[in-house]
Structure 1
Amino acid sequence: MFSFLRRIYDWVIGASNSRWAFAVLVFVALTEPVFFPIPPEVVLMTMSFSRPKRALFYTAVSSLFTLLGGVISYLIGKFFWNATQDFFFKYVFSEELFKKASKVYDQNAFITIFTIGFTPLPDKVFLITAGIFSVNFSVFLLSYGLSRAIRYLIVAVPIFFFGDRVRGFVERHFNTVTMALGVLLVIIFLFVRYFIAKVISQ
């Protein structure tokens, strides 16, 4: 498994040095909130390793296009829900569960969207649901945009200031870093699951 991940890492590093690197970053950032499975941090990190002093610029690009992708998901939920709700109620979830899920946004839409956006977990369903429930668009933009910007800055700032040292550490301890990130993902997943379950059970 680690060798497979290392090959992916090395491939992305190579792609980040190609003339298509910027286009890849834009594509991943724009499509990840809609359907693409790879988080923008993968491309952001490797491009920043290649040019550490542009890390903050890459962060701004990632934040902007991720927010645009989030808006696309929001609009899908807002304008196409009426045409698809019968299918969802019949095959995906019950109408009762749908009403309970709305409590997640009724309680505090800002915190909910910020939490989902900040965690490195798939947020597509929640972005579409925000549109379905007509969450205030300004709140949506602020919470999702802020959460993703902070998320990307956590990756970019250390590279901006300590580029080669950060890259060297990651490459020397690749397996350990990968395992630590995996454990962190599990912890975050459990936290988000608990948070959502607690809200909709009230």
Structure 2
Amino acid sequence: MLRRLYDWVMGLAASRHAEKSLFAVSFAESSFFPVPPDVMLAPMCLAKPEKAWRYAFICTIASVLGGALGYAIGFFLQDFGMWMMAATGHAGGLAEFQCWYGKYGVWVILAKGLTPIPYKLVTIASGLAAFAFPMFIIASVITRGARFFLVAYIIKKFGPTLLPIVERRLALFAGLFIALIVIGLTASHFLGGSSGGACAV
């Protein structure tokens, strides 16, 4: 089923409603849809590199708005939010996110928004944990914008030669970014003399 959804999304990228479809997929992926918008963004940037930044902007705005919906689901519909997390194999996600939020706050959203981890889990868990909404939006704009503009840059700069490995490179850059965050968090943990158990995410 996931493969059929993937092929359907790829078909949307070539349609005359590509931009509207890109917005819809980016919005839905942040709260419930399983296919990331990158699979549309990459071929659209490849077909029209002069519009790469426009496409990345559409992805960013739609993803942040979709993230707000995911946050609202977690905040206002807690039972449904818990069910959605359990349905995706993250039944214990709320306790884990609350632990990480308590220790590292906004850095959790920044780190996870760049990685292949489904962003819908971050948005719903943020609402469940009642994370500060204005900070959630700011972090979402930064992290989702960085992800989508990076994809657009790679395609615009290198064209089809790097298209097959966009996701792999994205994961590499995200890994380096997270490594820097972990180093900073570890240093701050020891320098601040904080205590407490480790959080498993």
TM-score if structure 1 supplies the norm length? 0.71
- Establish whether residue 159 from structure 1 lines up as the match of residue 155 from structure 2: yes
The residue number in structure 1 matching 2:53 is 56
From the two aligned structures, give the one with the greater helix fraction.
Answer: 1
Match of 2:38 among 37, 41, 48: 41
Query: Is structure 2 residue 141 aligned with structure 1 residue 145?
Result: yes
* RMSD value, Cα: 3.7
Helix, strand or coil for the counterpart of 2:68?
A: helix
Amino acid across the alignment from 1:32: E
**Quick one: which amino acid aligns to residue 159 of structure 2?**
V
Change in 2 beyond 3 A, CA 1:53/1:131: same
Q: Which residue of 1 aligns with 2:71?
A: 74
* 2:168 aligned partner: 181
List alignment gaps of at least 5 residues for structure 1.
none
Instruction: State which drifts further: 108-117 or 65-74.
Output: 108-117
**In structure 2, distance between residues paired with 1:19 and 1:65:** 19
Given the superposition, is the C-alpha separation of residues 112 and 17 from structure 1 closer, same or farther in structure 2, using an over 3 Å criterion? same
What CA distance in whole angstroms lies between the structure 2 residues aligned with 1:55 and 1:23? 15
Unaligned runs of at least 5 residues, structure 2 = 183-196
Aligned to 2:110: 114
On the 8 A contact 2:57/2:145 being kept in 1, the answer is: yes
Q: CA deviation at 1:18?
A: 2.1
How far is the alpha carbon of 1:108 from its aligned partner? 1.9
CA contact (8 A) 1:25 1:44 kept: yes
Q: Give 3-state SS (helix, strand or coil) of 1:121's partner.
A: coil
Aligned positions, number: 175
**TM-score normalised according to structure 2 size:** 0.71
Q: 1:33 & 1:154 partners in 2: Cα distance?
A: 18
User: 1:45, 1:183 → 2: CA distance?
Assistant: 12
User: Aligned AA for 1:200?
Assistant: C
Segments of 4+ moved more than 6 angstroms? 85-88
Q: Percent same amino acid among aligned pairs? A: 24
Change (3 A) 1:159 1:80: same
